[in-house]
Structure 1
Amino acid sequence: MCGICGYLQTEDGETAKEAGRELLQKMTALISHRGPDAEGTYCSQGLGLGFRRLTIIDLSEQGNQPLFSENRRYSLVFNGEIYNYKELREDLIAHGYQFQSRTDSEVLVHGYACYGPKLLSKLRGMFAFAIWDNVERTLFLARDPFGIKPLYYSCNTKDGSFIFASEIKSFLAYPAFVKELNRDALFSYFNFQYSAWESTFFRGVYKLLPGHYLLIKPETLKAYSTPDKPLQTETYFHFTFDYSRRTNENDLVEELRQRLRESVQLHLQSDVEVGAFLSGGVDSSYIAALSRPQHTFSVGFAGYAGGGFNEIDYAKRLSAKLGIQHHHVDLTAEDCFGILPKLQYHMDEPHGNFSAVPLYFLAKLAKEYVTVVLSGEGADELFAGYDPYRDSHLAGIYKKMLPAACRRFNRKFINLIPSAHLRRAVLRAGMEPREYFLGEMSICTDSEARGLLQPEYAQGVSALNGLQPYYDEIAALPELDQKQLIDLKYWLPGDILLKADKMSSAHSLELRVPYLDLQIWDLARKIAPEQRIKGLETKHILRCAAQAYLPQEWSARQKLGFMVPLKDWLKQEKFANLLREEFGSGQARQFFQTDVLLQYLAKHQAGEANYQHQLYLAYVFLLWYKEYFCKR
């Protein structure tokens, strides 16, 4: 894990080299937590590249960046890991390229010199990188297919320059950057709980989307007249399912075992110690069983031992069975609320998934023992692990039984059905995913979001409207496929992977995700819907594969998620008062219908309704706004 940043200026406003180096040092200082071990800069005619390094592979100074091609035509700054770098290195040596280090990074600069953008299809790993071509005077930026590593860019600058970085906070040190709030971002945030679109909460700041690359030249910048439109990027990777051949379950299970063993071994490549996060669920337990690290880590909540908010016992017992030293920490409400301002600063944008809080402390614990951790993110999205996917399976059976007109009519009688799963199936069977499915987590309806926001902040694109163009592309696919693709495209990079990256990098810890390997996805995309979910059993193929390595108590465990007792805490006067004070401020009234928020808080405390998500979304937005628009 590292941090990268840089700028590209028009030919009329090029910064001198010495001033450019000082500027880059200020930009990299704001992301020094991503790479505390070394820093580097490169400047050339209006181009600047900045780098902060966390040493993982080749601990020598030869691995410091920027890295250059032999003739110094190409220069590179790179964040991530290329797991098939040894294979690529041999290929490039055969093409005549000479290597100066043992790092995985160097294959990118030589690989781009050899293959250009076609290099991206050869990479297995997580990455966000920039390469400057000093002959063509072209800047090339790319991001991995899953969006494991973040990369932001902006042309919202006073001098028309282009800037990019691993984290938006790096832009604050660029004097020409225009820091403005994107007023349209709040509306969909209350739908999703995260920033889902290509745009961000900063006007004119955009994410380079997963599976995309960008080529830009200084002269291109002169034609870019508005910050309210992203630059044109190229797509090199699409998520698609493949049913060209049907494979029986036994073969799928065995092939998954082989591919996941290989992926874990590749993810263990390191010159520093590697540990593993372990929740006790099947995803992380399977990774721990395959990797057998010396250390595993988990978090729980004080006062909730043995309850639904604490899986430490499962993690401890599995670690003991595997002969692994386990470490855990119990968090208090004071711990969690106390860290929220700092956490929102590290996230760059307001993030309403409270599971980021225990993840922050989990990364802090792990950093005391290791520099790299393996984690189980991605298994649910690839292998169909979420409860809403299970609904679509039951709905599919129901749809085969009755025509659409009958299913719509039967929705009137759903309250007579005793099973909650069947009620949802009947209700959803008369609807298409595009009518209700926003992803694994959805918070507010459009009308509820408008009721919470001041009118000028309720004008953005709503979640369902924003998703419709993609739903049009995938409309012919089975419902389960549609739901997984929505989560792979939006929820996984926008919530799950973003908080994993930001919370681990806050502690200079590299987090690796072995499930999110292209060879694993190539198998997952060939598993038929009825093989992914069997009855009420999610992740059927993955669970079968895990049985060879885990006791049934772990391989068959239903998903709990990273649950936190926020609902209970907000009923306590001490913590309700924190929100009450924030909602009573003039700043809060600028954005929210604060009387509605205070009513929600009162009803929540009284146990009349559960408004934990809505209250938390508003609260952390206000904390984030203070961090970025009041303090800085």
Structure 2
Amino acid sequence: MCGIAGFVDFSGRQTDGNRDVLSRMDEALEHRGPDGRGTTLLNSGHVDVGLAHRRLAIIDLSEGGHQPMTSPDRTSWITYNGEIYNYRALRDGLVSSGTPIRTASDSEVLLAMLTTRDLGALPLLRGMFAFAWWDERAARLVLARDRFGIKPLVFAESRPGRWCFASDAATLATAGELSLRPDDGQLDVVLARGAVAAGQSFWAGVQAVAPGEAVVIDRDGLRRHTYWSLEDALLSPRASTSVDRAAATLRDALASSVRAHLVSDVPAGLFLSGGLDSAAILATVRNIGAGPIRTFTVTMGDHALDEADAARKTAKQFGGDHTELRIGDLDLDATLDEFFAAMKEPTADGLNTFVVARAARQSGVRVALSGVGGDELLGGYQSFTRVPQLSTLLRTVSPIGRAGLGGAATMLPGRHGDKIRALAGGSPDVASVWWNYRAVTPRRDGRAVPLPDLPPAARQASPFALIRYLEFREYLERVLLRDADAFTMAFALELRTPLVDHELVEAMAA
């Protein structure tokens, strides 16, 4: 796990400060990579290219993984953040086809895959990643991101012909490439949904590479290429199967994913809650013979929502080396100051992740697994049952009746009245009901934040499949994964999500 940044300038203008820009980018990314640093400044055919990299060494701890990395003929360069879990199999394929691999690093494998297969390499990667690839022969910069957007990557045109990119927008501002100001259109979205829209940025003029996307930038401008689609994975028609077969598929796919996510040259830990998702990961770790593993739980003492007792029993049953961190033991004022300092974009969530990440890192763990994604994949949220029920109920009520319900809701205080009014005034279809049901604040200044456009396949999807798709796109990607990266990398801790794995998701959706 690392931090990346850089720029490409096609304008042909002489820029004496490029090296200083790279230096400031490097310094801004220090928290994401304490184990190594590197910058590269290139000039090719009146094109200036700058690449910066901060390294958190997880795979191949030697200098063989140093970045930015170049191909043997020095026509390809990469700065890369993430992990390619199937890099050993890909390396074997490259070597057998005559492509030499000099190091044990997944970075070199990724660069060789891009050099030999171009964008066709992307569907072959299993992992979480965000990278910038400078392809000198084609005079183009390629920015790409993993299928679920686990790793962040933003970019902007700082002036005509000059494009900059980074793991976060603050790095671009620190480097002097642009000034950050909130996008007015995103303010309503943040207040209504708790985070910015999926695949977008809170900052005006800054764009995000979307999950499953590659952005190609050259002299002609910008082109977007989608190599994987969440809609295809979750909304395509599927044949029914038996419960026993589905359970067997889940066990096999989960074992494969956990085994892949444990690929590391440093010990891993696990964020353990009282739920089935992280418990299933811990049980799988033991079943595949990969334990023991350190486990971490945040406890709130006697609070009704505390899961520490269940987590403690799970750790004992499956052999976890368990650590608990009590919220009451924290200096809350200092913790909140650090939490907000680590927040790269507004969010209504993430404090729990921040606290447990700090505890894990202070305990010496550099890699941690998390059960995030389990509720979205397997229908663990109440929305999977309540939204279809509400949709059915609202369809039975006449428009006049719904108008009366909305009027009565104005007498209820706070967000509960707003939510009932939004449900009563909105469409009774499943997607609209889900949108209003899951809102943090459905309305602001009397205006509703509209439901984003849905793909055509959503019209034929079952309620369960549609809600699963919405939970993935609108909550997992836009809130949970975004927060997970920001608040773990604040402590240079790599978080891995075995339940957010495309092979597992595709197997379960099928």
Shorter chain as normaliser: what TM range? 0.7 to 0.9
Change over 3 Å in CA distance of 1:249–1:71 after alignment to 2: same
Alignment check: 8 A CA contact 2:11 2:161 kept? no
Aligned to 2:411: none
Deviation at 1:249, TM superposition (A): 1.1
Instruction: Give 1:489's aligned residue.
Output: 473
Deviations 1:297-347, CA, capped at 9 Å, x for gaps: 01122xx42x32311111112212222221111113973443334323322
CA gap 1:338/1:440 in 2 versus in 1, 3 angstroms: farther
Deviations 1:110-130 (A, max 9, x none): 001111111111011101111
Show the 5 A alignment for 1:125-204: 125-155=127-157, 157-158=158-159, 160-204=161-205
% identity of equivalent residues: 30
Q: Which amino acid in the other structure matches residue 486 of structure 1?
A: L
**Residue 220 of structure 1 aligns with which residue?**
220
Q: Could you tell me whether the CA contact under 8 Å between 2:11 and 2:162 is conserved in 1? A: no
**Compared CA separation, residues 34 and 440, structure 1 to 2 (3 A):** farther
CA spacing shift, 1:92–1:376, aligned 2, 3 Å: same
Whether 1:106 aligns to 2:108 is yes
Unpaired segments of 5 or more residues in structure 1?
222-230, 416-422, 452-457, 527-632
Rounded to whole Å, the distance in 2 between the matches of 1:69 and 1:315 is 47
Identify the residue that residue 431 of structure 1 maps to in structure 2: 428
Using the alignment, how far apart are the partners of 1:282 and 1:332 within structure 2? 25
Residue 358 of structure 1 aligns with which residue?
352
1:24 corresponds, among 22, 25, 33, to 22
Q: Which amino acid aligns with 2:441?
A: C
- TM-aligned CA deviation for residue 395 of structure 1: 6.1
Contact 2:249 2:508 in 1 (8 A): no
Residue of structure 1 equivalent to 2:450? 464
Give 1:388's match in structure 2, choosing from 361, 366, 383: 383
Q: Does 1:330 align with 2:322?
A: no
* Paired letter, 1:463: V
Change in Cα spacing, 1:172 to 1:102, as seen in structure 2 (3 Å) is: same
AA of the residue aligned to 2:487: M
SS class of match (2:434): coil
2:3 aligns with 3
3-state DSSP class of the match of 1:22?
A: helix
Counterpart CA distance in 2 for 1:525 and 1:488 is 13
What is the correspondence of 1:105-124 to structure 2 with a 5 Å cutoff? 105-124=107-126
Q: Distance in 1 between matches of 2:132 and 2:432?
A: 39
Structure 1 contact 196–494 (Cα < 8 Å) conserved: yes
Amino acid at match of 1:30: A
Aligned to 1:521, the other structure's residue is in SS state helix
Deviates further, 385-394 or 371-380? 385-394
Deviations 1:564-608 (A, max 9, x none): xxxxxxxxxxxxxxxxxxxxxxxxxxxxxxxxxxxxxxxxxxxxx
**CA displacement at 1:172 relative to structure 2:** 1.8
CA contact (8 A) 1:34 1:52 kept: yes
The 8 Å contact of residues 142 and 208 in structure 1, kept in 2 or not, is answered as yes
Give the secondary-structure state (helix, strand or coil) at the position aligned to 1:13. Answer: coil
SS of 2:64's equivalent? helix
Q: Which has the larger radius of gyration?
A: 1
What is the DSSP-based 3-state SS (H/G/I as helix, E as strand, rest coil) of the residue aligned with 2:435? Answer: coil
Higher strand share: 2
What residue number does 2:293 align with? 294
> Are residues 313 and 104 of structure 1, via their aligned partners in 2, closer, same or farther at CA, if it must alter by over 3 Å?
same
CA contact (8 A) 1:57 1:271 kept: yes
C-alpha offsets along residues 246-273 of structure 1, whole Å, 9 cap, x if unaligned? 2211011012101111111111111101
Q: 2:440 aligns with which of 443, 463, 486?
A: 443
Quote the residue 1:266 is aligned against.
Answer: 260
Equivalent position amino acid for 1:499 in 2: D
Task: Tell me the SS of whatever aligns to 1:470.
Answer: coil
Cα deviation code 1:343-374 (max 9, x no counterpart):
23322111122xx1121110011112311011
SS in 1 for 2:445: helix
Contact 1:21 1:43 in 2 (8 A): yes
The code of the aligned residue for 2:152 comes to P
Which has the larger displacement, 201-210 or 481-490?
Answer: 481-490
CA distance in 2 between partners of 1:345 and 1:380 (Å): 29
Alignment CA distance shift 1:124-1:506 (3 Å): same
Does the CA contact (< 8 Å) of 1:275 and 1:293 recur in 2? no
The answer for the alignment partner of 2:371 in structure 1 is 376
2:251 corresponds to which residue?
257
Does 111-120 or 287-296 show the bigger shift?
287-296
Closer, same or farther in 2 for the Cα pair 1:319/1:146, shift >3 Å?
Answer: same
Quote the offset at 1:160 in angstroms.
4.7
CA drift of 1:88 comes to 0.7
Of 194-203 and 52-61, more deviation after overlay is shown by 194-203
For residues 283-307 of structure 1, the C-alpha deviation after alignment (integer angstroms, 9 at most, x for no partner) is 0111112123431001122xx42x3
Aligned partner of 1:92: which letter?
L
Partner SS, residue 105 of structure 1: helix
C-alpha deviation, 1:57, in angstroms: 0.7
Q: Deviations over 1:113-170 (max 9, x none)?
A: 1111111110111011111011211001111111111111111x25652110111111
Range with greater deviation from structure 2 (431-440 or 33-42)? 431-440
* TM-aligned CA distance change 1:197 to 1:516, over 3 Å: closer
SS in 2 for 1:360: helix
- 1:434/1:464 contact within 8 Å kept: no
Is the contact between residue 191 and residue 441 of structure 2 (CA under 8 Å) also seen in structure 1? Answer: yes
Matched residue SS, 2:184:
coil
**Alpha carbons 1:359, 1:500 under 8 Å: kept:** yes
Q: TM-score, normalised by structure 2?
A: 0.88
Give the match for residue 501 of structure 1. Answer: 485
Q: Which residue of 1 aligns with 2:55?
A: 53
Displacement of 1:430 in angstroms is: 8.0
CA separation of 1:327 and 1:374: change in aligned 2, threshold 3 A:
same
- Give the secondary structure class of the aligned counterpart of 2:130: strand
Name 1:211's counterpart in structure 2. Answer: 212
TM-score (norm 1): 0.71
CA, structure 1 residues 83+495, in 2 after alignment: closer, same or farther (shift >3 Å)? same
Q: Which amino acid aligns with 2:144?
A: A
The separation in 2 between residues aligned to 1:430 and 1:5, in whole angstroms, is 43
In the alignment, what sits opposite 2:239? 245
Match of 1:40 among 38, 41, 48: 38
The whole-number CA distance in structure 2 between the counterparts of 1:199 and 1:264 is: 30
Report how many residues are paired. Answer: 483
- Bigger drift between 168-177 and 87-96 goes to 168-177
Q: CA deviation at 1:516?
A: 1.2
Cα gap change, 1:14/1:124 in structure 2, threshold over 3 Å: closer, same or farther?
farther
Is the contact between residue 407 and residue 430 of structure 1 (CA under 8 Å) also seen in structure 2?
no
1:320 maps to what in 2? 316
